[in-house]
Chains A and B, each alone.
Chain A
Amino acid sequence: MGLFNKNKGNTGKEKPKAFDGERLHSRIERMPNGAPQMTALEQAIQQADAAQDHFWRMMFRYEYACEATFHDDPPKAMPYASEFSSIYEEHPDALPEDSGAEAYLMITQIAIDPIASLPQIPFSQWENLMERFMELIKRYHIGLRTYWSQYCQFYQYVDKEKAYDGFQRFWRTGRDGLSDCRACERSLAVKMCLMMDDWAAAESYSKIMEQGRLRFCSSTPQRYWLHYLEYALDHGDLKEAEKRANALYRKTRNEKTDLSYYGAILRCFSFTDLERGAALLEKQFPLTVRMWDQKLVYDFYKGAWCFCYRLAKERDTISLDFPEGDFPIWNVDGVYRCSELADWFHGQAKGIAERFDLRNGSDYFTKDLELAGKWLD
């Protein structure tokens, strides 16, 4: 991240301090990603707040936001992004000048990003925050490329022509310190091209990644594989889908942010591998419980619906160990009618799709769900 002045060498002579953010940070970053780190970071935030150490008040919030975004439930980053913003505006000198501004813009982006996945947040509020983001871009002279990236990612659910226009602006704008990794940017490019049904253009962006000539971050190549997998499923290309699904399945990490991957893989397994699909559904369903990010939930439920629908053609019931209390149609014996499961997942996905479309003023999600159903029979 480059924002910390880390000094981890232990000479064994450190003296105890009332609040030692550096030491806390060093402990936390060695913990497993996701919930363990986030719980520890919450406590660290409380301690930093109590100590009024503005540097660590911001940095622990930043770390929490990153952890939620990349390993858990991205909207959980939003309260801390909001608090970071207030603290930074009040104490801009608590962070180093350059990296402080960069962190401020980054966490603003982290707050904008999940709005697309929260149908309860009105479109106008997304616009307001984007406007604020633009003000910060002008103030600090970085982040314009990221602005257009956010723009096209939201607009893909609203107006695909505008989204593609935003993507072209994004690609034309120069990279800066706030930009995503190059592989993630190309993954977005693949998505935009496939959205426009331009397979050849998508391939031109992905070629360098397919050839292994681009360094991947921890989120890639999964992202562009997902886009190819969804496109293949939407177009009934099971051969391409199976190839991508198997590869993607191997790269998953049992994290909440993988739910979109699991959903698409489930769709594919409904045609190619019912046994693995059943195991995946049982194991990963608990990740959806009490999720804020409705897009991730929608993707998983869409896949679960497809899987259960296809399964119902093969058999009446299936034994699944779903968590008691977290599954509304939970059965004590763990045996479920496949059609009943399919209906429940479809109902959930449909409900979310309608809320998204209502907020976005479009029919993107409703049509997306219909498209998934098109190939089921």
Chain B
Amino acid sequence: MFNFSFTDFHDFLTMDGHGIYVWTVYLVTFALIAGSFLIVRRKLNVFKRKLENASE
């Protein structure tokens, strides 16, 4: 079950010509999800800072 499905790393990247589709989808999704986390975290920090400044 845990046999590497490709002959080498280059084959893993190209995936018989399908690599461009597969990798594009995974990278864009990762960027979107990670970006969302970062944006929300940043907004949360900015909000907390604002509130702290206001209370001081």
Chains A and B bind each other? no
B-binding residues in A (CB < 8 A):
none
A-binding residues in B (CB < 8 A):
none
